Amino acid sequence: MIRRSVQALTAYTPGEQPRDPDVIKLNTNENPYPPTPRVAAVLAGWDPAALRRYPDPVSTALRDRIAALHGCRRDRVFVANGSDEVLALCTRAFVENDGAIGYFEPSYSLYPVLADIRAVDKRPIALDAAFAWPVDAAGAWTLPADYACALFFFTNPNAPTSLLCPAAAVRAFCERSAGVVVLDEAYVDFAREDNMALALDRDNVLVARSLSKSYALAGLRVGYAVGAPPLVRALDAIKDSYNLGALAQALACAAVEDHSAMRANVARIVATRERLVRGLAALGYRVLPSETNFVWARPGRLSAQEVFDGLRARRILVRFFDGPRTRAFLRITVGTDDQVDALLAALAAIEQEDRT
């Protein structure tokens, strides 16, 4: 009854969503601050009677707002139920059954699951021991000459490592790729630079963005992609007719319009990130230079698993990925200053407890 490929699938494991409101949740890269008050205003004025009607199937107003934000035409914009939906649709639109999907390792652990759902080959490229991309000193990619795939997910900044690949290397990667490259920029608003320019001038690049992190709307489920009109048309052809609800469209419009509120929110988080990095370094952690709203940190003495368990016992959740490349590290979301202080105090207590 159930397809063999589905029976064999190891499903994606999302971060834990505890019911207890007192838990300090630094495990899923959510924004600790609310979205712009304009979102609250639209919600307060929302007439439930409007829900009798189906929504605009192509989210015209939202696409227009996003197009204005990026200085492009609406036919370059696709919107979806979270950027996860963008990624899933790409695997259906751009990969034949005998094609392959590529990504770096470690990066977003959803990509191999999406490839398994499509039952197509996976071609991961390993990052080096320092989680850097395989690029030589001259900026050239050191990939096997025959490396190719129909679709490549390039997470930048990367998750869970928080590092940013320089724009010149990203461009070179897209230029050497014959297939579609999706630049997954879920965290890019927290970084120094982005690669939206590539989506606007290359015909094989889509930039995927999320409203879940910098816009503080993870619960709304809105993401989008920008790229060449033929790629956007392909996604439109296969999406669910009404993939974004009316309320999601209206609230996302309000959020995207208030770009300055998003920038202010990001600035707060970036300031707290620096404080978190300093605090972790003082505790002997090795912390990679973060360009995201989380840090990737390796405890100095205890194992990451021990620290994860110690924090959990103190009702602080962070993320631990138990893979060969990832199990020495913890991914810690940047929360409020108070949450970060509580985290640092708990980490100090865990160290202390272990010494006594």
CB 195 within 8 A of CB 170: yes
Q: How far is the CB of 223 from ligand PLP (least distance, A)?
A: 4
Q: How far is the CB of 353 from ligand PLP (least distance, A)?
A: 32
CB 332 within 8 A of CB 25: no
Q: How far is the CB of 180 from ligand PLP (least distance, A)?
A: 16
Q: 148 is written with which tokens?
A: 């190719």
Angle between helices 246-257 and 60-70 (to 10 degrees): 20
Q: Please say which residue, 217 or 347, places its beta carbon nearer to ligand PLP.
A: 217
Q: Please say which residue, 82 or 279, places its beta carbon nearer to ligand PLP.
A: 82
Q: How far is the CB of 222 from ligand PLP (least distance, A)?
A: 7
Q: 157 is written with which tokens?
A: 């900044």
Q: Please say which residue, 161 or 204, places its beta carbon nearer to ligand PLP.
A: 161
Q: Please say which residue, 219 or 230, places its beta carbon nearer to ligand PLP.
A: 219
The residue behind tokens 């990679």 is 288
Q: Please say which residue, 135 or 159, places its beta carbon nearer to ligand PLP.
A: 159
Q: Which residue's C-beta sits nearest to ligand PLP?
A: 82
CB 12 within 8 A of CB 113: yes
CB 93 within 8 A of CB 103: no
Amino acid (1-letter code) at residue 46: W
Q: Please say which residue, 36 or 83, places its beta carbon nearer to ligand PLP.
A: 83
- State how far the alpha carbon of 201 is from the alpha carbons of 64, 76, 176, 229, 273, in Å: 19, 11, 15, 11, 33
Q: How far is the CB of 164 from ligand PLP (least distance, A)?
A: 13
Q: Please say which residue, 159 or 235, places its beta carbon nearer to ligand PLP.
A: 159
Question: Could you say which DSSP state residue 56 is in?
Answer: P
SS3 207: strand
Binding residues for ligand PLP, per CB under 6 A? 29, 82-84, 108, 155, 159, 184, 186, 210, 212, 218, 223
Q: Please say which residue, 5 or 13, places its beta carbon nearer to ligand PLP.
A: 13
Q: How far is the CB of 68 from ligand PLP (least distance, A)?
A: 20
Q: How far is the CB of 15 from ligand PLP (least distance, A)?
A: 8
SS3 150: coil
Residue by residue, DSSP assigns 295-335 as EEEE-SSS-HHHHHHHHHHTTEE-B---STTTTT-EEEE--
Question: Could you say which DSSP state residue 75 is in?
Answer: G
Amino acid (1-letter code) at residue 134: P
Q: How far is the CB of 63 from ligand PLP (least distance, A)?
A: 16
Strand order in the sheet with 330-333: 286-287, 294-298, 330-333
